[in-house]
Structure 1
Amino acid sequence: MTEWIKTVTLPENQPAITLREQMQIWQLPKRIQGQLRQQKRIYVNQAYRNMKTILYAGDVVTMRLLEEDFVTPISSYVSDVRQPIDVLYENDDLLVVNKCNGIKTHPNSPLEDGTLMNYVQGYLAERSHENAYMVHRLDEATSGAILVAKNPMAAVLLNAYLRDKTIKRSYVARVTGHLEEASGTIRLPIGLDPYHSRLRMVNGVEAQDAVTHWRLIETDSNSSLVAIELQTGRTHQIRVHFAAIGHPIVGDSLYNQQYNGDARLMLHGSEVGFIKPFSQTEMRVSAPIPGLFWNKG
């Protein structure tokens, strides 16, 4: 049976709080907290301690995590080393990768390879016994920063942060036409397109609230470069919203009726912000904006 040892040295500014309170700050699920306590798999300074133990700066907290603690303890992506990955940031729990446009984020079947998660699995397999765990995704045609967990505990925490909207994702896009304002917010519910299973549409079937904030960066003769922040994370949200206000993304084969096949989708995940697991440290990792997004004239 696989097990994972997680060791955390508490920082100098650590307040004097109980081990239970520290578990809550780290947002460990109650079920895992209970199993660590009942099976005496949590230690302070190398000795088992109960949840009422007071922690101080410099204390070393160690957790012995087992497969039974997780719904998906081992990810099953096929390892693929045919394409190197562009690692923007990495620590013991996660890495941020700059995804190329034109590759899928994840496979749709167990034996499929050639996706970003396969390449990350190949990268990790060459360096350690860690596995890749998906946290969020980008469309195949979109490039940019993607956050990937390296162990099941980090995956649990990062997915909780995603649900709580503490993971922030920023984008840049080149859209058709000239926007009339310097910034704005698009508030249009997005649901399923009843006629095309792949597509989404404003006020579609089972529509959910969707909010997109944008800011103009520059314009050229027939398009605008915008910075985008998502308040919600609906499928194809940016693409649907800008098409709905009459400024579809350049190169969008799904939502731009003027698409002629000449350009890639001009949408790029420029930054991802998150709290590092087992820490209150906030991180923001940027993915360089491809040169073709900028006005050459």
Structure 2
Amino acid sequence: MKYPQKKIGFNPTKLKEVAVKVSETTELMKFLIEKFPEKSRTAIKSMLAHKQVTVGDLVTTQFDFPLKRGQMVFLNKKKSEEKPRFRGMRIVHEDADLIVIEKGSGLLSIATDKEKVKTAYSMLSEYVKRFDPKNLIFIVHRLDRDTSGLMMFAKSKKVQEALQKDWNESIIERSYVVVVEGVVEKAEGTVTSWLKENKALVMYSSQNPEDGQKAVTHYKVLKTDKQFSLLEVKLETGRKNQIRVHMKDLGFPVTGDKKYGAKLNPIGQMGLHARVLAFKHPVTGRMLRFDTPIPGKFLKAIR
């Protein structure tokens, strides 16, 4: 089937949908310039900025978005501007190389040997295959099942390896909000220890540099009441269960975290939310920062 190539006006209220098939691998801007030579580069950039360009089912504003042979590029396909909906997570950012999501509490990041239920990984795998059955998704880091918040996935093995190899250099900021049991009187502080996992798969702290992986956690008190404290926590390192162990070490376990000593659960989930994720893009080099509001039930827990 041949798709007509009509002249495009740039008034969003007047545009009609146009579909063009990609015949060879290229980048989106180059493709649009070649297909619509009567339009200036500035005009095409305006279309991208106004979300009037869709590749397959994905609305994109990225001028260097990679195109593959056989894909369809649509102009002003408004019905595709609706973001896909997933149970227990939402896509915060997507480009040609990676996806950032906000995960809900109770959703596994990736399946385990014992549990192979619906996971963030499996839902994203199904999602990217809608555009091309050969597309894959790669996990970069994890959040515990009962931790909510921001996490990132790569769209290729190369990007995954680049992020994991230079993790400390690429990640500019990872901060969490945490509800803990007890009144934290010290306004801010830092916890440093070496973490190691025992045979029961429980992480514990050591002050011996040769006994585990170094873990550094910074915290600041945001709000307290007679029973609980709300903290902002920033990670200098990213070890398994790091915040949970360090809060226990301080004597203020994360609410809802029975594994590490919590006795109360005022919000119906573990009181740990990955609020901010800022990093250097592994391909473009751009600095990206994403943040979410403090969950309402975290705030309500502190009266």
Q: Which one of the candidate residues 139, 144, 157 is aligned to 2:144?
A: 139
Aligned residue type for 2:203: R
CA RMSD of aligned residues (A): 3.2
Q: Deviations over 1:102-139 (max 9, x none)?
A: 12111125993411100111222224443211000001
1:197 aligns with 200
Q: Which residue of 1 aligns with 2:93?
A: 89
Percent same amino acid among aligned pairs? 29
Q: Structure 1 245/166 Cα, relative in aligned 2: closer, same or farther at 3 Å?
A: same
Output the amino acid matched with 1:199: V
Please tell me whether the aligned partners of residues 215 and 228 of structure 1 are also in contact (alpha carbons under 8 angstroms): yes
2:104 match: 100
Instruction: Please give the alpha-carbon distance, in whole angstroms, between the structure 1 residues aligned to 2:239 and 2:176.
Output: 14
Sort the Cα spacing of 1:201 and 1:8 in 2 relative to 1 into closer, same or farther, 3 A.
Answer: farther
Q: Give the Cα separation in 2 of the matches to 1:178 and 1:168.
A: 26
Among 234, 242, 261, which residue is 2:239 paired with?
Answer: 234
Pair 1:286-2:258 in alignment: no
2:222 aligned partner: 217
Counterpart of 1:244 (choices 246, 249, 274) is 249
**C-alpha distance in 2 between matches for 1:287 and 1:251:** 21
Q: Deviations over 1:84-103 (max 9, x none)?
A: 74011111111110011112
1:211-249 per-residue CA deviation (whole Å, 9 max, x = no partner) reads 100111111221111111111111111000010111111
Equivalent residue number for residue 172 of structure 1:
177
Kindly report which structure 2 residues correspond to 1:1-297, keeping only aligned pairs within 5 A, or say none: 83=87, 85-109=89-113, 112-129=116-133, 130-162=135-167, 164=169, 166=171, 168-193=173-198, 196-203=199-206, 206-259=211-264, 263-295=268-300, 297=303
TM-score, L = length of structure 2? 0.66
TM-score by length of 1: 0.67
**SS of the residue aligned with 1:122?**
helix
Match of 2:60 in 1: none
Contact 1:175–1:224 (CA under 8 A) maintained in structure 2 = yes
Instruction: Compare 237-246 and 101-110 and name the one that shifted more.
Output: 101-110
* Matches of 1:248 and 1:197, distance apart in 2: 19
Distance (Å, rounded) in 2 between the aligned partners of 1:226 and 1:8: 44
Q: How much has 1:210 moved relative to structure 2?
A: 1.2
Structure 2 stretches of 5 or more lacking a match? 1-24, 30-63, 69-84
Structure 2 counterpart of 1:202, one-letter code = S
SS for the counterpart of 1:254 is helix
Q: Which amino acid aligns with 1:121?
A: S
Tell me the amino acid that sits aligned with residue 184 of structure 1: G
What amino acid does structure 1 have at the position aligned with 2:126? G
- Asked if the contact 2:88–2:107 (Cα under 8 Å) also holds between the matched residues in 1, the reply is no
* Rg larger for: 2
In 2: Cα distance, 1:220 partner to 1:6 partner: 58
Contact 1:85 1:120 in 2 (8 A): no
Say which is worse superposed, 253-262 or 140-149, in terms of deviation. Answer: 253-262
- The number of equivalent residue pairs is 226
Segment drifting more, 123-132 vs 175-184 = 123-132
Residue 161 (structure 1) shift:
2.9
- Give the CA deviation at 1:280: 2.4
